[in-house]
Structure 1
Amino acid sequence: MLRFAVPSSGSLHDPALDFLKACGIGVSRPNPRKYTADIPSLPGVVVHFQRQTDIPMQVEEGMADVGIVGMDGFLERQREGGDGEIIIEGLGFAQSELAIQVPDSWVDVTSMADLTDLAIEFRQQGTQLQVATKFPRLTERFLLANGVNFATLIPSSGALEISPAMGSADIITDISSTGTTMRANRLKTIQGGTVVRSEACLIGNRRRIAGDTEKLAPATALVERIEAYRNSRNFYSVTANVRGENEESIARDVLEHADIAGLRGPTIARVHTADDTAWYAVTVIVEKRRLLDAVNRLREIGGVSVTVTQPSYMFHSKSEAAERLAKGP
């Protein structure tokens, strides 16, 4: 049985469930008071609802096999050389940014270089730059990498934004998605001050999964569905009816234009009309960003009744995530 940890509350809970449903692997939880559930379309998987801050360590220690977390939280709590690792990096939701935030009254501090100089000034005055954060490991690494060698970290689990105003810290590192709370508390970001850009990711314990066939099969099915769904979000399937002499002549017209050539080329099928005229249905798969170009090119070669759909899944010749799971650590 594959144990799948999903956040029980907080900012990741609803988006994670919505994402799994969109992937066609929705979670069934008839009793909301119960902290386990299943995925009807994936036999062999049991869902465990856990605090999102606990999931990285649970996967690390083998109490859960896979889990959904924010990348920032995983990187903060990841054990060096441990078994927990990222299986699928970007799930496409819960985007945020962990960044240095300083009082907006610090008009002369606009970059990390300015902050480095300020930390040195504090040191020369016999004090240290005070940094409040919920991510001490990531913050310390970032500050040292940017030459801020004189700073004191103040781990906190409460509201960080008020810390500079209260005098309990000089600056903070905090998660921001819109910046509204930051600006309301008269804080600002600085150039080069992004510690990490984050979004939800799927983590797993490859050592435990690869060595257990009862876990590997459902884990492979899980990552295949997620990966194929994520792949499909970048493409559209475009179909147009085109009049022509034969399939070959239409194929030549289509392949002359890179915008409508598709991933491997067009799929062309005869349309059986009442008057027996030579119409063909031309279907191509195109990148989302090139949709209108493809529609216009199909029009140029005589395309009419153009329809557009988004594939539910796009499976490549192999699944990189599934291969990593099978190989183990």
Structure 2
Amino acid sequence: MWRNCCDLTVTIAIMLTTMNLPLHTAVSVRSRSWCCYASLSVPQPQAKPQLLNGNPPSRPADRKEIRLGLPSKGRMSADTLELLKNCQLSVKQVNPRQYVAEIPQLSNLEVWFQRPKDIVRKLLSGDLDLGIVGLDTVSEHGQSNEDLIIVHEALEYGDCRLSLAIPQYGIFENVNSLEELAKMPQWTEDKPLRVATGFTYLGPKFMKESGLKHVTFSTADGALEAAPAMGIADAILDLVSSGTTLKENNLKEIKGGVVLESQAVLIASRKSMIQRKGVLETTHEMLERLEAHLRAIGQFTVTANMRGSSAEEVAERILSQPSLAGLQGPTVSPVFCKRDGKVTADYYAIVICVPKKALYKSIQQLRAIGGSGVLISPLTYIFDEETPRWRQLLSELGL
């Protein structure tokens, strides 16, 4: 047995010295008695690197794989995976708890699940080549960096707006615009307008460009709507979707207070597309697949038979109806049948592409000009000529 804690400390010190481990000793005085405490710093085991197909991840400088960053959680993540699936780019994840996956249709591509802001940061650092995030995230954390290029600016989900909101009551009751807010005499150098936000780059930038001089910002995440009611802020700058949460917390948006409209976008690293082998080709394929699918959303193929004397005469009748023009005009082809031993064409099949909102009206117009046997099927993809976005991307890259 040890006679006191000092004997214990000496014993531990000898053990640590034998093991070549560091020793830290603290001395404390309590009730005129000395007591020693020894704390041991034990090296923690290093986490094993995550494996993809049995291989450890490569360093940015020497990796050969192309990397795509996707949101790891929430609605944005689910909608992103759904969009890629609809483009025949399903993400294959061996273990749902791993942050790395693959898209079998795109060779040499790794998918990395990250927080949206980390996707932007890692694009800038060279750890990722491509990413899908909200425009608000790109604008806040990319801060207009020239290495970030928006390849597709409208993936048609994740819609929201970054907006300034103020209380509906008190001194703000009759304030309904940014201009009126700026003219309020309450804001001085000693007592500025206090704005709570998580957008510490876009917020000050917007206020400066809008001419509001006396403004101070406090950083906050989460439920910003409570800040004005708690008295810790006069206004908030946050993402708004439907606006219901603002109303439930007695807040209102004001005219001129929208910083930006946001939705999901496909972004890429300029350096990666120019310097890293295969990135530009992968970007092109992803862009084409996305364009073809998004173009087809809400579009239907309408096929019908029409009696006529010639394809030109049938086409003339179709083009007389404004809802039947299709994408570039109707396709008219003869429907052959055998009569009295001869092949003849009394009917013509017409094929047009019609948006969903005009579908029933188009059917009515087809019937009015002699159409029958109308068949309707939804479109999955519309591959057009080379997308203007691709030509614009090549122009930005100087290629």
Tell me the TM-score normalized by structure 1. 0.92
Q: What is aligned with 1:207? A: 271
Aligned residue identity for 2:176: T
Q: What is aligned with 1:70? A: 134
Q: CA deviation at 1:23?
A: 1.7
Distance, in Å, in 2 between the alignment partners of 1:128 and 1:212 is 48
Q: What is aligned with 2:177? A: 111
Structure of higher RCO (CA pairs closer than 8 Å, 6+ residues apart): 1
Distance, in Å, in 2 between the alignment partners of 1:157 and 1:54 is 16
Tell me, which stretches of 5 or more residues in structure 2 are unaligned? Answer: 1-64
Tell me, which stretches of 5 or more residues in structure 1 are unaligned? Answer: none
Decide which of 289, 295, 307 is 1:243's aligned counterpart.
307
Instruction: Please state if 1:133 is matched with 2:201.
Output: no
After superposition, where does 1:276-315 map in structure 2 within 5 Å?
278-315=346-383
Distance, in Å, in 1 between the alignment partners of 2:143 and 2:188 is 32
SS of structure 2 residue aligned to 1:86: strand
Identity across matched positions, percent: 34
Tell me the TM-score normalized by structure 2. 0.76
Q: What is aligned with 1:316? A: 384
After superposition, where does 1:1-329 map in structure 2 within 5 Å?
1-105=65-169, 106-118=172-184, 120-123=185-188, 126-233=190-297, 235-272=299-336, 278-327=346-395, 328=397
Contact 1:60 1:79 in 2 (8 A): no
SS of structure 1 residue aligned to 2:222: coil
Q: Single out whichever of 279-288 and 56-65 deviates more from structure 2.
A: 279-288
User: Which is higher, the Rg of structure 1 or of structure 2?
Assistant: 2
Q: CA deviation at 1:202?
A: 0.7
Q: CA deviation at 1:325?
A: 4.4
Aligned residue identity for 1:65: D
Contact 1:128 1:150 in 2 (8 A): yes
Contact 2:299 2:355 in 1 (8 A): yes
Q: CA deviation at 1:326?
A: 4.2
Q: CA deviation at 1:289?
A: 4.2
Aligned residue identity for 1:112: L
Query: Against the structure 1 CA distance between its residues 222 and 198, is the aligned structure 2 distance closer, same or farther, given a 3 Å change threshold?
Result: same
SS of structure 1 residue aligned to 2:186: helix
Runs of 4+ off more than 6 Å? 274-277
Q: How many residues were matched structurally?
A: 327
Aligned residue identity for 1:122: W
SS of structure 1 residue aligned to 2:290: helix
Q: CA deviation at 1:300?
A: 1.5
Per-residue CA shift, 1:26-83, capped at 9, x if unaligned?
Answer: 1111310111111122223211111112111111222111101111111111144430
Query: Against the structure 1 CA distance between its residues 36 and 254, is the aligned structure 2 distance closer, same or farther, given a 3 Å change threshold?
Result: same
Contact 2:143 2:201 in 1 (8 A): no
Distance, in Å, in 1 between the alignment partners of 2:279 and 2:211 is 45
Contact 1:38 1:45 in 2 (8 A): yes
Query: Against the structure 1 CA distance between its residues 259 and 212, is the aligned structure 2 distance closer, same or farther, given a 3 Å change threshold?
Result: same
